[in-house]
């Protein structure tokens, strides 16, 4: 699905030297590269504060701890997403409130969000799924009218830009009170292990988030709050600092590949190509097709038999996951999500696809749909 080895070959000398430096200086924890990467990312995103942490799931958890949510508070998120979003809500004793998504963009439906708001709602967590922003102008408007927070899960959309009606632009993760991201190796900005970060423009909140991520201490060995231990390793920061310089080029390569897929698959009505949302750029974390009258299992087996990996993100809606079964929800409650979980599959999408590989994938897919 990704070719991280080929990508590494292009930056090998720089990465090896940077990792070597960290080891030579034994600066494994909070070494200089962590602060340098933080500054570089703040500049790239035009955001006041980046707070690095250990992974994307921690970033979401720390965001909700930082905002002081209390057990029983309701947090609205999409039923079609990776489990991490709902997991941290449940872990903190908050109540996940699920809503359906838009059938074309796969992102949370603002109309459904508004309907789900109660007097217990404290936040909306839009997930910018597969690489493009949710309808943030509508979501921010709802949040403002109801005086609730927006935490953006931007693990799949770092570098994407939201385009407001007045033409102004903001980077994914910098519109809500907090943005949370992941640097998992296969993410668009991936390190060589685990990593994550939070973004905010709020000074006070940034200080609180830093404290929570550091055992709840501002001064060493004085603990004002129950916190967690969540740090970005210096080695990972050193890698990320190098890869950040190429992030926009990586997104361009992904877009080029997506356009080639789009053009090729316009030839068949048995596949629905991913729709671009007019108010966001797309960074194509995934290229996700929907089957239309063909058997998904069969096309995936056919691809696999031709050495082409294909993945299903995600096969089971959150409200049908064993750990998240809830008497409030039953099969049929989120028809768009349920249909997507039954029909989507993603093709290889990365920054190093060769022409011959692309041609082989396209030929094989069309061979299946044309038979
Ligand atoms: C990857 C991902 C996360 C979690 O990130 P980790 O670093 O693996 O903890 C959260 N939300 C979404 C949408 C993701 O894709």
Residues 278 and 209 in one domain: no
In this prediction, residue 364 has a pLDDT band, given cuts at 50, 70 and 90, of very high
Instruction: Determine the Cα–Cα distance for residues 122 and 148; give it in Å rounded to an integer.
Output: 5
Domain of residue 102 covers 4-244
Residues 224 and 280 in one domain: no
| pLDDT (tens digit per residue) in 182-237 | 999 999 999 999 999 999 999 999 999 999 999 999 999 999 999 999 999 999 99
Atom of ligand 1 nearest to the CA of 59: 9
CA dihedral 49, 54, 58, 59 (to 10 degrees): 20
Residues 295 and 202 in one domain: no
pLDDT at 5: 95
Residues 184 and 89 in one domain: yes
pLDDT at 88: 96
Residues 224 and 268 in one domain: no
**Where are the alpha helices (H) located in the chain, listed in sequence order?**
4-24, 32-45, 56-66, 84-91, 110-116, 136-146, 203-213, 234-244, 247-265, 296-305, 335-343, 355-369
Whole-number Å distance, alpha carbon 63 to ligand 1 midpoint, is 14
Atom of ligand 1 nearest to the CA of 285: 15
- Ligand 1 pocket residue status of 57, Cβ below 6 Å: yes
User: Sign of dihedral through CA atoms 65, 42, 245, 282?
Assistant: positive
The partner residues of 132 in beta bridges, in order of sequence, read 282
Residues 220 and 256 in one domain: no
SS3 state at 65:
helix
| pLDDT (tens digit per residue) in 103-123 | 999 999 999 999 999 999 999
* Residue where one domain finishes, among candidates 244, 265, 298: 244
Instruction: Determine the Cα–Cα distance for residues 269 and 15; give it in Å rounded to an integer.
Output: 44
* Residue where one domain finishes, among candidates 244, 264, 291: 244
Instruction: Determine the Cα–Cα distance for residues 45 and 172; give it in Å rounded to an integer.
Output: 8
CA atoms within 13 Å, Cβ hemisphere of 148: 25
Residues 123 and 106 in one domain: yes
- Ligand 1 pocket residue status of 66, Cβ below 6 Å: no
Residues 179 and 266 in one domain: no
DSSP 311-335: B-S-SS-GGGSGGG--TT--TTSSH
| pLDDT (tens digit per residue) in 266-289 | 999 999 999 999 999 999 999 999
The token pair that represents 127 in the structure block? 């997930």
Instruction: Determine the Cα–Cα distance for residues 344 and 312; give it in Å rounded to an integer.
Output: 6
User: Sign of dihedral through CA atoms 235, 43, 171, 265?
Assistant: negative
DSSP class of residue 182 equals E
Overall average pLDDT of the 26-30 stretch: 96
Instruction: Determine the Cα–Cα distance for residues 201 and 184; give it in Å rounded to an integer.
Output: 24
Whole-number Å distance, alpha carbon 197 to ligand 1 midpoint, is 11
Residues 237 and 323 in one domain: no
Q: For position 300, which CATH number holds?
A: 3.90.1150.10
- Ligand 1 pocket residue status of 54, Cβ below 6 Å: no
Atom of ligand 1 nearest to the CA of 55: 7
* Residue where one domain finishes, among candidates 204, 224, 244: 244
The token pair that represents 234 in the structure block? 């210096």
SS3 state at 345:
strand
Cβ(238)–Cβ(7) below 8 Å: no
Residues 216 and 305 in one domain: no
Percent of the chain at pLDDT > 70 equals: 100
Instruction: Determine the Cα–Cα distance for residues 176 and 122; give it in Å rounded to an integer.
Output: 13
pLDDT at 60: 98
pLDDT at 158: 98
Split into its structural domains, the chain has a count of 2
Overall average pLDDT of the 8-13 stretch: 97
- Ligand 1 pocket residue status of 127, Cβ below 6 Å: yes
Instruction: Determine the Cα–Cα distance for residues 152 and 159; give it in Å rounded to an integer.
Output: 13
pLDDT at 332: 96
- Ligand 1 pocket residue status of 153, Cβ below 6 Å: yes
Atom of ligand 1 nearest to the CA of 129: 13
Q: For position 39, which CATH number holds?
A: 3.40.640.10
If we measure between CA atoms, which residue out of 332, 284, 314 comes closest to residue 86?
314
- Ligand 1 pocket residue status of 314, Cβ below 6 Å: no
Residues 256 and 222 in one domain: no
DSSP 243-255: HHTTHHHHHHHHH
- Ligand 1 pocket residue status of 85, Cβ below 6 Å: yes
- Ligand 1 pocket residue status of 173, Cβ below 6 Å: no
* Length in residues, the chain: 371
Instruction: Determine the Cα–Cα distance for residues 332 and 100; give it in Å rounded to an integer.
Output: 11
Instruction: Determine the Cα–Cα distance for residues 88 and 324; give it in Å rounded to an integer.
Output: 12
pLDDT at 276: 94
Q: Residue whose CA is closest, atom 2 of ligand 1?
A: 155
Q: Which H or E element spans position 180?
A: strand 178-182
- Ligand 1 pocket residue status of 152, Cβ below 6 Å: no
SS3 state at 233:
coil
The partner residues of 161 in beta bridges, in order of sequence, read 171
The partner residues of 108 in beta bridges, in order of sequence, read 101
Looking only at the bridges linking them, the beta strands covering 121-125 and 149-153 are: parallel
Tally: H helices and E strands in the chain: 12, 14
Q: Residue whose CA is closest, atom 6 of ligand 1?
A: 56
Residues 273 and 207 in one domain: no
The partner residues of 179 in beta bridges, in order of sequence, read 152, 199
Whole-number Å distance, alpha carbon 146 to ligand 1 midpoint, is 28
């Amino acid at each position: 699905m990704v070719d991280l080895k080929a990508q590494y070959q292009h930056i090998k000398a720089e990465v090896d030297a940077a990792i070597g430096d960290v080891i030579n200086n034994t600066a494994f924890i909070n070494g200089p590269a962590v602060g340098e990467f933080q500054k570089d990312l703040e500049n790239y995103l035009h955001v006041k504060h980046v707070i690095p942490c250990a992974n994307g799931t921690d970033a979401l958890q720390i965001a909700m701890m930082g905002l002081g949510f209390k057990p029983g508070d309701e947090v609205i998120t999409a039923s079609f997403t990776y489990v991490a979003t709902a997991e941290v809500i449940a872990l903190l004793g908050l109540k996940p409130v699920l809503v359906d998504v838009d059938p074309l963009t796969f992102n949370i439906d603002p109309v459904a969000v508004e309907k789900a708001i109660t007097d217990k709602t404290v936040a909306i967590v839009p997930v910018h799924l597969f690489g493009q922003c949710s309808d943030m102008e509508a979501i921010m408007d709802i949040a403002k009218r109801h005086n609730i927070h927006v935490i953006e899960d931007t693990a799949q959309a770092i570098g994407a830009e939201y385009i407001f009606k007045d033409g102004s632009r903001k980077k994914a993760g910098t519109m809500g009170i907090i943005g949370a991201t992941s640097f998992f190796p296969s993410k668009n900005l991936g390190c060589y292990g685990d990593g994550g970060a939070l973004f905010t423009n709020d000074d006070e909140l940034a200080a609180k988030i830093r404290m929570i991520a550091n055992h709840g201490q501002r001064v060493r060995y004085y603990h004002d709050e129950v916190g967690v231990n969540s740090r970005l390793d210096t080695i990972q920061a050193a890698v990320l600092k190098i890869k950040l310089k190429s992030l926009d080029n990586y997104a361009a390569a992904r877009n080029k590949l997506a356009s080639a897929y789009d053009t090729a698959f316009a030839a068949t009505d048995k596949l629905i190509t991913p729709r671009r949302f007019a108010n966001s750029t797309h960074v194509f974390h995934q290229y996700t097709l929907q089957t239309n009258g063909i058997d998904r299992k069969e096309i995936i087996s056919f691809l696999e038999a031709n050495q082409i990996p294909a993945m299903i993100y995600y096969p089971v809606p959150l409200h049908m996951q064993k750990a998240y079964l809830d008497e409030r929800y039953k099969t049929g409650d989120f028809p768009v999500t349920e249909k997507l979980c039954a029909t989507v599959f993603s093709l290889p999408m990365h920054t190093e696809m060769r022409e011959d590989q692309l041609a082989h994938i396209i030929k094989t897919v069309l061979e299946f749909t044309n038979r």
